[in-house]
Amino acid sequence: MTLPRIPSLIRQRRVQALAIALLVPFLAIAPLHLFVPAPVKAHGVPAPVQVGISFSPIRAGYLGLDYRSAFKRLEAMHFRVIRLSSYWDQVDNDGYHQLDWLMTEAQRARQPVVLTVGMKALGWPEFYVPTSVMDVTTLNQGQDVASDSSLRAATLAFVEDTVLRYRDNPALVAWQIENEPFNRAGPQRLWIDAEFLRDEITSVRRLDRHHRPLIVNAFSHFNLVFDQASARQGFDLRQWLGFDADSAERDSLAVLSPGDVLGLDVYTAIGYQFLGQDHLSRADGDWPDRLARVRELAKRQGKQAWITEAQAEPWESAADTYTKPKSTNPAAIRSLFENLKDAGYSTVLFWGSEYWLWRADNGDPRWLDAVKAILRDESRAPSMAMTS
């Protein structure tokens, strides 16, 4: 099985070698997470789960898929929701025609969708700022990208244009504001500050006369080393000592209002390269209980909590294992899903839909079959209400 344009796919992984290298002094204790006891599944009787996915026409193209055909195949599986993105650089170059097609098709098929707006979107390189606005590759490592006033103004204008274009599409059930704004990501490991995120939220609320809920998502707890690699504040001694510390989850909740949605992106195995060697890091054993606590925190604040990305695609350290992955497999998709359900999550969006289609087209339907089985089991989950 040959993977088309594999370099582009491998670069989509968020935790770069540089991020790991910055944490070299702490890598020696990374295996300590393996000694954390497995959580006890005692979070109540789980309700049927609204199962959804993310879809990127860009990622589909990397795999040699026609995005229109791929999207229709996924619609036919009857996911409760599909998450899409507005890619700013693409719109700047070619206009909205690709996103127009996706949104119009979703409306025709009565397929509920979430639309991500802003300068960050789904997939590498995370930030999709047109070079006509700013060359973000020239920014300093770890910088707050929204500190530039001209970029702030241009981003707000792009958000306004996008919201005005799609606000009356009945298939749209929620807006996602940026993608993992409080996590450092991309080649420059940039992030977005809370003040500017609030400006974007205010703009979307003002423009959307249908008052849809807003989503702010975060890369959820993995283990201490990788949490520090993606944290906007960098190394936090409080977390290493076992105390509650600032986190992207808490930062995201702080900018949301009652009725809005905290989105959590959950991965349990991440491949990376260090000193020229391939490594695989696994999530701490307490990750389901940590997610259950975050969900309860959101509930106490009158907010919803979704899983906006559940790992259902390999996250490998190199291209040569992408077709025989070490990080996940079809059986692991079911295991992850059951843990999320036990943690009380009633809306779970899988990440990797383009990969499943590509595997099926190359003679391996196991990935699609695993997700189809989950959809059958959760068929009693309620549909998401579309705008009238």
Domain boundaries, the chain: 6-377
* pTM of this structure: 0.89
Q: Are the C-beta atoms of residues 262 and 252 closer than 8 Å to each other?
A: yes
Coil vs helix vs strand at 51: strand
Question: What pLDDT is attached to residue 351?
Answer: 98
How many beta carbons lie within 10 A of that of residue 21, not counting itself?
A: 12
Question: 101: helix, coil or strand?
Answer: helix
Least confident of 32-36, 78-82, 102-106, 176-180: 32-36
Name the CATH code of domain 6-377 (choices 3.20.20.80, 3.40.50.300, 3.30.497.10, 3.40.50.1390): 3.20.20.80
Return the structure tokens found at 258. 């009652």
Q: How far apart are CA 14 and CA 185, in angstroms?
A: 6
Residue 57, pLDDT > 90, answer yes
Structure tokens at 96: 């909205």
Q: What is the largest CA-CA distance in the chain?
A: 56
pLDDT band at 319 (very low <50, low <70, confident <90, very high): confident
pLDDT of residue 233: 57
* Model confidence at 40: pLDDT above 50: no
| pLDDT tier for residue 230 given thresholds of 50, 70 and 90 | low
CB atoms within 10 A of CB 30: 17
pLDDT, position 221: 80
**151-171: per-residue pLDDT in tens?**
999 999 999 999 999 999 999
Task: Assign 273 a pLDDT band (cuts: 50, 70, 90).
Answer: confident
Cβ burial of 301 (10 Å; 0-12, 13-18, 19+) is: middle
- Report residue 374 as tokens: 């989950």
